[in-house]
Structure 1
Amino acid sequence: MADKSQDKLYSTTLQTIGAVSKLPVVRVDREAYLRKQFAGSPHLDVILERGPQAVFTTESLRQKANGIIKSSTAKTSLSSFAAGLPGNPAVMVAAGGADVVQYFGFAVNLAQQIAYLFGEDNLFDGGGQLSEAAQMRVIAYLGAMFGAAGAAALVSQTSKVAGANLGKKVAAQALTKTAWYPLVKKVGAVIGKQVTKKTVEKTITKAVPVVGGVLSGGLTYVTFRPMGHRLADTLVKNLNGDFDNELELNAEFAATLNVVVAPVENTAD
């Protein structure tokens, strides 16, 4: 039963990510974003080629992330307020679902902004599509935002600056055969649970006249801001090499596990 529940929640996450990826507001062009954030910097060429972390200290980038998170949270809360105003009761549930897609769309938008700040490459390909590797990055980012166990390790696995070449790994081997697929599925199930929870919240606030908009915006502000800070903190640790000594599980062994165990720290010299 537990496995079936996890499968269902993981499927919900993949469906949500698929819907989210179609929203124009979700996509952040890395180069345009970095040009705007670091306009006037004499080191712009290096920033664009190698990432801001090649020029600035991790601490200063973390401070800059604070402003980005604050601004994005304010914009998301205003949008959520408007979406939370009452409409036709017959379409409340459907509208609640749409609002949830929008909520997660803003979360993925913010995740890209934070990730690009800490040296990660474009999430979407040239056609605005999410590859399988990119979907895994989204799961890792959202998992870190919600504080899911194992999400930090997954961020490290999918990170460009950590030295992982995820694209080639996925191309060479089906995702379900990789050593870290059980972790992807576990983190994805946690996100799926949040999708279900947010759908209920949005449907309830839709049913409350005027106050529903206030509740919707308030819930978004309270939850969205710490989500951004969790991801930023995870990416800071990633840059600092805090996840460098984690060992991957052998694929055959991982497939035999019902519960994913935490990565083992390598204490060898």
Structure 2
Amino acid sequence: MAEISQEKLYGTTLQTIGAVAKLPVVRVDREAFLRKQFAASPHLEVILQSGPQTVYSTESLRRKATSIINNSAAKTSAASFATGLAGNPAIMLAAGGADVAQYFGFAINLAQQIAYLFGEDELFDGGADGLSEAAQIRVIAYLGAMFGAAGAAALVSQTSKVAGANLGKKVAAQALTKTVWYPLVKKVGAVIGKQVTKKTVEKTITKAVPVVGGILSGGLTYVMFRPMGHRLADVLVRNLNGDFDEQLELNPAFAASLLEDPPADPVGELDGVTQGGA
């Protein structure tokens, strides 16, 4: 695949996030999710008000995250298999795009579930219009962590309500566009954009042979989604444990270098995305 500029890849990410945010399957209502997950808890009101992390240990929440990740991966795999059966050459390219939108939609859906489990605020703060700029940066941080992009964990901490509370100050996501962190937002966003482009090609190819394509698409989705979810959960666990350094800021010269085009494979192991996953 020919090299694409960082700016174009970042634009692809924003366009994809904006598009999938409109899909009904993407949104997770924080209160409804927590009510379902902790229906039997005598401390439900505290959980709704302040987050599960105020009631339960980080270790127990991490175990619950594993159950949520496995369940979501199975559902996503089934959905991917169903859409992978569209083998009509006339709609092959369009269906590939739809499948990719579904894939990233499920990723954002899973990211919300994991984030709410570890005490983060409602993501969809833009009402009917979808995601605010601050929320878009949160999504980039979450997806970047799921893909193992360098610097994504730091962005998760910078946009985290829980991390901000642990630091004793509010970490405002919208402020990132005015700081030396913003080049890192674009760098992580470009990694995601490359994955959008790669998966569009992969999904289109699997449409060529309907049944085999469906099996391949569903199987790969299950294999990939589990480690993606575990990566994000591990980052949020580190946030709860205070495993971050709020004193670190990017050197302006280094921040400027991040604006340069990314290497051919910014993450390295993404072609074998199961590496490091559970």
Q: Is TM more than 0.5 here?
A: yes
TM superposition outliers: structure 1 runs of 4+ over 6 Å? none
> Residues 259, 9 of structure 1: CA spacing in aligned structure 2 closer, same or farther, 3 A cutoff?
closer
Q: CA deviation at 1:166?
A: 4.5
- 1:1-269 equivalences in 2 (<5 Å): 5-125=5-125, 127-128=127-128, 129-163=130-164, 165-167=170-172, 170=174, 175=177, 177-249=178-250, 253=253, 256-258=256-258
Offset from partner CA, 1:208-247 (integer Å, 9 cap, x none): 1311110110110111111000000110011111113451
> Residues 258, 245 of structure 1: CA spacing in aligned structure 2 closer, same or farther, 3 A cutoff?
closer
State how far apart, in whole Å, the 2-side matches of 1:166 and 1:102 are.
Answer: 31
State how far apart, in whole Å, the 2-side matches of 1:259 and 1:242 are.
Answer: 27
State how far apart, in whole Å, the 1-side matches of 2:256 and 2:183 are.
Answer: 10
Give the letter aligned to residue 247 of structure 1: L
Please state whether the residue corresponding to 2:257 is helix, strand or coil.
coil
State how far apart, in whole Å, the 2-side matches of 1:57 and 1:80 are.
Answer: 34
State how far apart, in whole Å, the 2-side matches of 1:4 and 1:208 are.
Answer: 29
Q: CA deviation at 1:255?
A: 5.5
Please state whether the residue corresponding to 2:59 is helix, strand or coil.
helix
Structure 2 gaps, min length 5? 261-278
Q: CA deviation at 1:165?
A: 3.3
Q: CA deviation at 1:179?
A: 1.9
Q: CA deviation at 1:198?
A: 0.8
> Residues 32, 162 of structure 1: CA spacing in aligned structure 2 closer, same or farther, 3 A cutoff?
same
Task: Verify the 8 A CA contact 2:69 2:226 in the aligned structure 1.
Answer: yes
For normalisation by structure 1, the TM-score amounts to 0.89
State how far apart, in whole Å, the 1-side matches of 2:223 and 2:209 are.
Answer: 19
Task: Verify the 8 A CA contact 1:133 1:166 in the aligned structure 2.
Answer: no
Give the letter aligned to residue 67 of structure 1: S
Give the letter aligned to residue 149 of structure 2: A
Please state whether the residue corresponding to 1:220 is helix, strand or coil.
helix
Q: CA deviation at 1:126?
A: 6.0
Offset from partner CA, 1:129-172 (integer Å, 9 cap, x none): 200000000000000000000000000000000116354x62xx
State how far apart, in whole Å, the 2-side matches of 1:196 and 1:71 are.
Answer: 27
Deviates more, 1:3-12 or 1:13-22: 3-12
For normalisation by structure 2, the TM-score amounts to 0.86
**Cα RMSD for the two superposed structures:** 2.0
Task: Verify the 8 A CA contact 1:120 1:161 in the aligned structure 2.
Answer: yes
> Residues 126, 249 of structure 1: CA spacing in aligned structure 2 closer, same or farther, 3 A cutoff?
closer
